[in-house]
Amino acid sequence: MLVITEYGPQAILSILSHLVFIAVSWWALMAINFEKFLRPNRVFQARLLYILLSIAIGSIVSNFFLDYLAWSQQLPLLLE
């Protein structure tokens, strides 16, 4: 029988990782001056673009981090 309680810490780590990396990508995107590429009076669309880019970049980086963590935990199994 599969014990579901093993997934709890992994789920919390995944959620926190995604939120942290989305916030970091939002912070990093604030350094880019997108006003040159946006049409005037499109503030809502510009904010939505920042949010979507932050989610996309943060999710990709978080998935890389979580995959790397999982792979590093599986390395000892290679020696068994």
Q: Tens digits of per-residue pLDDT, 4-20?
A: 557 788 889 999 999 99
Q: Is the residue at 64 inside a domain?
A: yes
The model's pTM: 0.81
Q: Domain for residue 2, yes or no?
A: no
Is residue 63 assigned to a domain? yes
pLDDT given at position 2? 47
Task: State the residue range of the domain holding 48.
Answer: 19-69
In 3D, which of 26, 31, 13, 15 has the Cα closest to residue 57? 26
Q: Quote the number of domains for the chain.
A: 1
* 74 located within any domain: no
Domain membership of residue 1 (yes or no) is no
